[in-house]
Amino acid sequence: TMPSIFSYQSAEVDWCEGNFEHSTVIAEYYNTEWAPRTSQASRACARIELCSHKLSLLLAGIFSTYFHMTLSYVGQLLDELSILWTLAVAYAFWYPRIYFPKCIKSRKHFFWLSGVTTVISTLMSFIKPAFNAYVLNCIAFHLLYLTWRELKKCNDKRVHRMAAVMVVWWVLAISSWISDRWLCGLWQAINFPYFHSFWHVLIAMSLLYCCPLVIYFDVTYEMPSFKPKLGYWPSDSWPVVVPYVALEEPHKQC
C-alpha cells in the first residue's frame, strides 16, 4: 500500500545520517538539532528586516526541523517550499531596480512577477520534490553573479572582504551538501555521516555575511541620502564576529 504522506520516512530524500540512532521519535538527530540554525543566523544578522521576511525565516526553520525529525513527504515539501518562498520574499523586496527586466516598470510589477514565478515553481515542486533541492541551491549562483556585478562598482574594501568571507562559507557549505548526497557510502564506512549537519551550520555562517551585503546594496539604491557602512560586532579584531550595517547620514551643505 502507498504510505501516508505524513508517515515517518515517506520522503523521497534520506540523508546520510543514520535514522533513529539517538532517539525513537527523531529520525535524524543531528540534522534536526542544527536545522533551525540557518533561520536564526539570518534573523540575527540584519538590523533592518521586514515582518514577512522574519515570518518566512521562522517557518523555514520550523519546517526543516520537522522534515529531519520525521523524514516525511509532507515535511520534505514544507522544508523546500519554505526556502523557496523565503527567497521569493527576499527577491521581491530587495532585488535592485536596475536589474529589473525591461518589461518591468515598477516594484509593484516585480512583486507580481515574483509571485507568479513562485506559485508556478511551487506547483512544479509537487512533481519531483527531490529535484527541487538542487534547483534551490542553484539560485545561489545568481546571487553570486549579482554580488560580483555590485563589487565591480564598489571600492570599499570592507564590502569586498565581507563578500569574500561569504563566498568561502558558501563553498564549504555546498561542498558539505554535495558530499553528503554523493559520497554517503564513504562517510558511512568511516562512521562519520554528518556532512548535512555541517551544511546547516556553514550555510548559516554564509547567510550571516550575505544579509548585511544585501542590505548595504539596498540602502545604496533605495536610501541615497544615507551612507551605509559595514561593521563587525563586538570588534573588528575578534576572531568570531557578527557583521552589521550602520547608516550614516551625510552632512548637508548650506
**Residues tagged in the binding site annotation:** 14-15, 17, 19, 28, 68, 196, 200
Rounded Cα distance between 64 and 73, Å, is 12
Q: What distance, in Å, lies between the first and last C-alpha atoms of the chain? A: 79
Please give the C-alpha separations between residue 240 and each of 19, 36, 205, 233, in angstroms, as whole numbers. 33, 20, 11, 9
Binding-site residue numbers for Ca(2+) are: 14-15, 17, 19, 28
Residues 72/7, Cβ–Cβ less than 8 Å: yes
Rounded Cα distance between 243 and 183, Å, is 34
Residues 177/194, Cβ–Cβ less than 8 Å: no
Rounded Cα distance between 97 and 104, Å, is 9
What residues contact 192, with CB distance under 8 A and at least 6 apart?
none
Nearest to 183 by CA among 200, 201, 195: 195
Supply 96's cell numbers. 535592485
Binding-site residue numbers for Zn(2+) are: 68, 196, 200
| Phi, psi dihedrals of residue 229, rounded to the nearest 5° | -140, 130
Pairing mode, if any, of strands 227-233 and 242-248?
Answer: antiparallel
Rounded Cα distance between 125 and 45, Å, is 30
